[in-house]
Amino acid sequence: MAEYTLKVRRYQPESGEAAYWEEFNVELDPSLSVLDGLLQAKDRDDGSLSVRCSCRAAICGSCGMKINGQSGLGCKTQIGEAQELAEKKASVSPNANGETPTIVVEPMGNMPVIKDLITDMESTHWTKIRRVTPWLLPHGEPPEREYVVEPESMIDITQSMACIQCGACVSSCLSMEADPDFIGPAALAKAYRFVGDPRDAETKERLHDLANDPHGIYDCTHCFSCIDACPKGVAPMDQIMRLRRKAGEEGIEDVNNGDNHVHAFVNMIEKKGTNDEALLIQETYAPGVKGKLKPTKAAIKGLVESLPTVLRAIKTGKARSLPKLIPGVHPKLPDGAQDEVKAIYQHAEEHREEFNIYITGEEDVEPEPDEPTDATLTAEAASAAESEES
Amino acid sequence: MLGARQYPTAPSDFGAIESAPVPTHDVLVIGAGLAGQRAALAAAEEGVSVGIVSKVHPVRSHSNAAQGGINAALNPGDSWESHAFDTIKGSDYLSDQDAVEIMCREAPEEILHLEHLGVTFHRNEEGKLGTRAFGGASAARTYYVADITGQAIMHVLYEQLMKHADSVARYEEWFSTALALDEQGECCGVVTRNIADGSMELFRAKSVILACGGNGQVWKPTTNALICTGDGIAMAYRVGAKLMDMEMIQYHPTTLAGKGFLITEGARGEGAHLLNAKGERFMERYAPNKMELASRDVVSRAEQTEINEGRGFPDGTVALDITVVPKKRVHEALREIVLVGKDFAGVDITREPIHIKPGNHYTMGGIKTDVDGRTDIPGLYSAGETACVSVHGGNRLGANSLLDTLIFGRRSGADAAARAKRTEGSRPSKAVLEAEQATIDAISAREKGSGRRVSEIKFDLGTAMDAKVAVFRDEAGIQEALETVRRLKVEAETAYIDDKGSIFNQDILGAIELGYMLDNAECTCVAALERKESRGAQYRTDFPERNDEEWLKHIDLQLNDDGPEISYSEVTITQWEPQERTY
């Protein structure tokens, strides 16, 4: 047993007063959850303290909230750990009054608050979910038995099926803060569940739909907040990136040119084993332009528009300065490092597996017998270098 | 292009009552877990107007928690008869065999239907549906989605509800407080409270389906969610519907001590062992053939015996050893359990055994229905854990609960729609709405300190039930629990709440739920006291043998002035005569 103080952002809509902070003192085992703490306060002190909750086991998705500023589930955040985090935060930026740090609990972000920790998910989260046509659209009549599909495909989309619609990712989404119309991490992860499902017959239409929407898949800024927030390992951003990759494969033009950028980078690693910054920008906007006389207007526009970024990068030391920045002129890295990188690339290509926790298990899983070790990688690098020499 | 193919849009033209319009549907479903959602979709398919009311958003429903899978004899080498026999033997011969036959015959088709709707069932190497082993089953016939089967199916059904939004109206976060009967005693509506603004509404319907889940919150701890407060069972009981098998409460063999979280039977299905504190695989002594995969009542009793006789750990548990299952398989098929172990017990189950004990899990009994979900009250249906068909009898087999919700959800929905088509529909009296409003006003009016807090009464109730009406029971203990329940009922009449507002007043809902829980508890105690034998989940230390001669029958309960009145009904036996039950 230990004592904790929960500092709760409260809002009582019928009081006519603005939102306010209230502290509740609770006493419970550190291994119990922040939700357990809130329920103790509700049971003992104030029954009007309102929070949606049901399963207490991170499966129903009711208790999305912000704890010490971090979006997640109240039931899945141990109160002892929340206290440690609060103390750590306080040590970085000490409270002016020298008060002991408290666990700060707030309603989720990017949603209107109804009462205390209860938010209006219908007008935000669920409206966005419905935006992605969230049901299977198979072609024709179903077969007599089950659809026969690759076993991996079902495991693959099970990662997005693991979503419990708690809204933590939506709450944490920085893109949505800037653009409230962004379809958002939860709904796009849900979209991947259909795009990745071999039984769905509308893959193309779905991808065009999500790519052409200005608030669609290219609105994500890759900030990883949703991955941090998700209590179920759905990794919504990864699902968005898969959608982008599939869109690229479908020949859909990425308005932000991100897809070309990825291809340019990948090609360069494959061929050179290192990043050639100067070439990267050119290859992103005008792939293969060297030797061609007329790059497209769009490419020239893109290249010109990139100039300020390039200059800033040089100024801050993020890119090498002239004359090393002449496209195509790239110094060799020492000790055959580039060959090693190329070998790693080759290995990754040959063992192409989506990073999916359902397939590979978590990071601590011991390698399968055929998985590479450092030794085999080195050997492969050596043989790759040899073949290049010959 | 992406538009939904809709069911024919249904007319809901049987109109407003008196001057004020009320929400009106041919079929109204209360509860939006698997049974409720399946019922709503089945009714909508018949072209009638359907409403579905739930006190939480549908995807928050407790069907989520069903981890392991769903049974069906779908493999060519398997047969529905084998599935039926396992179910009946598992039930300790208290299930009605006609109902079990229907469930097991229709199971394969239902699995395929779900697969066609988009459930991401696990595939074997050929890309066809793959299975895992489960307790009490003579074949590996459990279909699954990792260990989130209930969640995966429920979210797919909710996708279908969104798709068919034109034909199924959703009332999400509406709390039902009472059923309305007409002068002929037929069910014709439901009183609900819109949680968002506190307004009370009388819904009108030709058929009402109660699919509100079980009553696990009556016990503490329990694997059940906080919403599982026996609402449907209590509402039906209060208007005179018969309840059946209320003494049959399942204790699941593998729950986390203290917190009550569930560790799926799938873990044992994948090969995990149960060990006592001496490291012995004790199931050898209790079920030498099936070992850890004997029926749940058998395994729970074995564990409790080990604990009671001093061979458990000091925290009153035994150990579940999942480290014997290959790690890759654990991550692929038991991922949720890896997370539960890590987040809620601080144990890496791939590296060390986890401490578990039997814990309250499932309500086998419930509202007595026939195989089409019909209760004793015309127009009132029930399905899923709220109902008692009875397919589970004295003990439910793992992975049969999802099946029960879907098969009898669908059948109830279809029959409720058929009834709606052939009946006129009557007008519910506003009196029931006024009475409910008065009850709520009275609770709100109680002053702080005038009685006990609702939460205190709930705690006392849960503790008493878990102590006396659990794995092992005897007359004195059950009697003591019953007296406690009756005292708490009196205390509940003066229990006060803090929140006097209208918007999201969870306090008032908690007070109403307490009333539901107390009715459920009283019925369970009365039935458990009455059944003077040991069968399935009811193990009486004072009557340790099964007694087919006197007790191969259901205990039915019906409300009279003093509480539940006992009567009996026959157990339907088709082709499986009761035998001695060993695993």
Q: Following DSSP, what letter does each residue of B154-219 receive, concatenated?
A: HHHHHHHHHHTTTTEEEEETEEEEEEEE-TTS-EEEEEEEETTT--EEEEEEEEEEE-----GGGS
Torsion of CA A87, A89, A92, A93, to 10 degrees: -100
**Residues paired with residue B363 on neighbouring β-strands, in sequence order:** B249
Judge whether A47 is closer than 8 Å to chain B, CB to CB: yes
pLDDT range class, residue B263, cuts 50, 70, 90: very high
- Chain A contact for B115 (CB, 8 A cutoff): yes
Which of A52-61, A375-384, B1-10, B254-263 shows the highest mean pLDDT? A52-61
Q: Which one of B61, B109, B116 would you mutate to disrupt binding with A, by most A Cβ within 10 Å of its Cβ?
A: B116
Q: How far is CA A376 from the centre of its chain?
A: 32
For chain A positions 227-246, those within 8 Å of chain B (CB to CB) are 233
Report the C-alpha gap between B583 and B580 in whole angstroms.
10
Structure confidence at residue A332 (pLDDT): 79
Distances (CA, A) of A26 to A57, A112, B195, B258, B548: 20, 28, 28, 18, 52
The answer to whether the CB atoms of A358 and B146 lie below 8 A apart is yes
- A9 by Cβ neighbours in 10 Å (0-12 / 13-18 / 19+) ranks as middle
Place of tokens 């090498």: A320
Instruction: Classify the C-alpha dihedral A106-A107-A113-A114 as positive or negative.
Output: negative
Within an 8 Å CB–CB cutoff, is residue A139 touching chain B?
no
Per-residue tokens: B574: 């088709």
Please state, in angstroms and rounded to a whole number, the distance separating the CA atoms of residues A87 and B478: 49
Q: Which of B509, B505, B223 is CA-nearest to residue B385?
A: B223
Residue A218 and residue A241 in contact, taking contact as beta carbons nearer than 8 Å: no
Q: Determine which helix (DSSP H) or strand (DSSP E) holds B475, and give its type and residue range.
A: helix B475-492
Using CB atoms, which residue from A50, A154, A233 is nearest to B123? A154
Residues B351-378 have a mean pLDDT of: 97
Nearest-angstrom CA–CA distance, B90 and B136: 6
Helix pair angle (B149-163, B97-117), 10° resolution: 70
CB within 8 Å: A47 and B60:
no
Tokens of B529: 């006291």
Chain B environment of A61 (Cβ under 8 Å) = 59-60
How far is it, in rounded angstroms, from Cα A51 to Cα B243? Answer: 33
> Distance from CA of residue B424 to its chain's centroid?
32
Q: Write out the H or E segment, with its range, that includes residue B532.
A: none
B487 touches chain A (CB under 8 A): no
CB A29, CB A96: distance < 8 Å: no
How far is CA B4 from its chain centroid? 32
Q: Which residue from A minimizes the CA distance to B160?
A: A135
SS3 of B23-80: CEEEEEEECCCHHHHHHHHHHHHCCCCEEEEECCCHHHCHHHHCCCCEECCCCCCCCH
Nearest Cα to Cα of residue A164 among A81, A273, A241, A53: A53
- State the nearest Cα–Cα gap between A312 and chain B, in angstroms: 44
Whether the CB-CB separation of B169 and B343 falls below 8 Å is answered with no
pLDDT tens for each residue of B280-321: 999 999 999 999 999 999 999 999 999 999 999 999 999 999
Q: Per-residue pLDDT for chain A (390 aa), expressed as one digit of tens each?
A: 899 999 999 999 999 999 999 999 999 999 899 999 999 999 999 999 999 999 999 999 999 999 999 999 999 999 999 999 999 988 887 665 667 799 999 999 999 999 999 999 999 999 999 999 999 999 999 999 999 999 888 888 988 999 999 999 999 999 999 999 999 999 999 999 999 999 999 999 999 999 999 999 999 999 999 999 999 999 999 999 999 989 988 999 887 777 788 888 888 898 888 887 777 877 888 776 554 556 677 777 877 888 888 888 888 877 766 656 666 667 778 888 999 999 999 888 887 655 544 443 334 444 444 444 444 444 444 444 444 433
Residue B436 near residue B239 (C-beta atoms within 8 A): no
List of chain A residues whose C-beta atoms are within 8 Å of the C-beta of residue B227: 54
- The token duo for B228 is 């599982």
Nearest C-alpha in B relative to A33: B344
The three-state secondary structure class of B458 is helix
Bridge partners, A363 (sequence order) = none
Residues of B with a known catalytic role: 296
Q: Which of B457, B505, B512 is nearest to B176 (CA)?
A: B512
Distance CA B31, CA B42 (A): 15
Tell whether B184 lies on the interface with A, counting CB pairs under 8 A: no
Instruction: Using a CB–CB cutoff of 8 Å, tell me whether B452 touches chain A.
Output: no
Give the pLDDT confidence of B547-581 residue by residue, as tens digits: 999 999 999 999 998 899 999 999 999 999 999 99
**CA distance to partner chain B, nearest, from residue A126 (Å):** 10
Put simply, whether B444 touches A (Cβ < 8 Å) is no
Among B127, B114, B25, which Cα is nearest to B379's? B25
ipTM: 0.93
- For residues B36 and A257, what is the distance between their CA atoms, to the nearest angstrom? 47
As a whole number of angstroms, the distance between CA B504 and CA A47 comes to 12
Residue B90, number of CB atoms within 10 A of its CB: 29
Taking the mean position of all CA atoms in its chain, how far away is CA B139?
Answer: 25
